[in-house]
């Protein structure tokens, strides 16, 4: 995973996929940027999502080691975590008027996913991302660069930590795919 080409791929994947998914939040009115330049988004959005992709995907190696090594099973399919992540984003946009329902659904799907295919590294990544991601977004939002329409604590929606749970599964699948890990 340390090869430069793999890092470029992860950055580009984060920049493109993250920016496109962020459009769901822009179009549904979940958030607004202070200085939009294209399609309602700020020029720095792809860089933030690309950098975030690098941090979250590369962080999986550390979380795997912390969880007890490489004995955890890989995702059975790259498509499943990707679809769950995209679905979570869609739900946060479509359900913007019912944030507690969105939170409950996202957490329920996450718990069901862990029950079906438990993994200490996935659980650890979910908790780490659910804490760190919203804190980062709260700090960025506090600069005035963007704002959520229905913020909760720290200026971010109550469902945001649960969205990061699903980001953990998606970035784990990317890491496992790029490192060639197989199902146990």
**DSSP letters of 2-57?**
-SHHHHHHHHHHHHHHHHHHHHHHHHTTSEEESS--BTTB-TTHHHHHHHHHHHHH
Grade residue 72 by pLDDT with cuts at 50, 70 and 90.
very low
Does a structural domain hold residue 54?
A: yes
**Domain limits at 29?**
4-179
Q: What tens digit of pLDDT does each residue of 18-46 get?
A: 999 999 999 999 999 999 999 999 999 99
Does a structural domain hold residue 86?
A: yes
Does a structural domain hold residue 184?
A: no
- Calculate what percentage of the chain has a pLDDT beyond 70: 92
Does a structural domain hold residue 69?
A: yes
Report how many domains make up the chain: 1
Asked if residue 184 has pLDDT above 60, the reply is no
Q: And the tokens for 162? A: 């649960």
pLDDT at residue number 2:
63
CB of 177 within 8 A of CB of 122?
A: no
Grade residue 181 by pLDDT with cuts at 50, 70 and 90.
low
């Amino acid at each position: 995973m340390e090869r430069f080409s793999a890092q470029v791929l992860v950055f580009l994947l984060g920049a493109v996929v993250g920016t496109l998914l962020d459009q769901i939040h822009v179009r549904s009115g979940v958030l607004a940027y202070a200085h939009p330049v294209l399609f309602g988004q700020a020029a720095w959005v792809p860089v933030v999502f690309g950098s975030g992709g690098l941090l979250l995907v590369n962080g999986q190696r550390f979380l795997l080691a912390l969880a007890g090594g490489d004995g955890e099973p890989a995702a059975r399919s790259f498509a499943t975590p990707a679809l769950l992540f995209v679905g979570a984003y869609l739900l946060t946009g479509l359900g913007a008027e019912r944030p507690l329902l969105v939170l409950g659904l996202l957490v329920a799907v996450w718990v069901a996913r862990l029950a079906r295919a438990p993994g200490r590294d996935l659980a650890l990544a979910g908790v780490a991302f659910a804490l760190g991601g919203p804190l980062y977004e709260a700090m960025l939002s506090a600069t005035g660069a963007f704002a959520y329409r229905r913020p909760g604590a720290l200026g971010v929606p109550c469902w945001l930590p649960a969205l990061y749970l699903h980001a953990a599964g998606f970035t784990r699948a990317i890491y496992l795919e790029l490192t060639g890990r197989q199902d146990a």
